[in-house]
Amino acid sequence: MKKLSIFILASQLAAAASAQIMVVSKTPSGPVKDMNAARRVAATFSRPISALTSAEQMGSSCPLEVMEISGVLTEENYPGYSSARLEDFKELKPVQGRCRWQGTQTVAFEPAEPLAPATLYAARIKAGVKSASGELLEEDTVWFFETVRPAIMESAPYNDQRWLPLDTIVYAAFNLPVDHARARGFIKLEETAPDGTVKEIHAGVRRAKDKE
């Protein structure tokens, strides 16, 4: 009798699991290294959500929403993209865009405008999404991703370079467009005298010319 009871219980658990749908793939997730990777946010379900003939119509009822998180990030509300919780953020700005279905199991959200760089975003699929055969998504699925942060890709002169002309231009090339006026506050040029004394040198900042 015990063996039979265990077998029946296992069968019931398997049947319950099969009556649910899950999100099995989420992109992008975590730090994004290329802004092109953030041109669409996609999720793939474990079951077909719509009949193939109605996939285009499903775009008008999008189960996937994307939100920009504009509040201050701290260790308390953002310990990392894999363990953050949506309820810890108060400033959530919905991103406008549209949905496209790729087949019957993958939905892609395409922002109406390019996402901002160096920004944290959250994506959510709310519980209640129903598959074509009636299974339900029982809990919200939430994940986070961070768009590309500015980084220096190339600079000159190189570190510890010597015997430079006095009119040498110092330049830095970034991976993203940068407002040179705002960047000025983060740039410092220092001179080190033979006796080790260091002093800051005033320098102007401008956008590089094509020939430079």
Cβ-based neighbours of 198, under 8 Å, separated by 6 or more: 190, 191, 192
Share of the chain above pLDDT 90, in %: 34
Phi first, then psi, for residue 38 (nearest 5°) are -105, 15
pTM of the model as a whole: 0.75
Cβ neighbours, 10 Å, residue 58? 17
List the beta bridge partners of residue 45.
23
- Return d(Cα 30, Cα 116) in angstroms, integer: 15
Average pLDDT, the chain: 83
pLDDT digits (tens, 9 = 90+) for 1-53: 444 444 444 444 344 445 689 999 999 999 998 888 899 999 999 999 865 55
Instruction: Report how far residue 105's alpha carbon sits from residue 24's, in angstroms, rounded to the nearest whole number.
Output: 10
CATH classification for the domain delimited by 22-146, as one of 2.60.40.3710, 3.30.470.20, 3.10.520.10, 3.90.79.10: 2.60.40.3710
The residues spanned by each domain of the chain are 22-146, 152-201
DSSP H stretches of helix in 110-190: 180-183
Give the SS3 label for residue 180. Answer: helix
Summarize pLDDT for 156-202 with one digit per residue, the tens.
Answer: 898 888 898 988 888 888 888 888 788 888 888 888 888 989 999 88
| pLDDT number for residue 16 | 42
Q: 80 Cβ partners below 8 Å, 6+ apart?
A: none
Q: Give dist(CA 20, CA 67) in Å, integer.
A: 26
Torsion on CA atoms 74, 75, 80, 81, rounded to nearest 10: -30
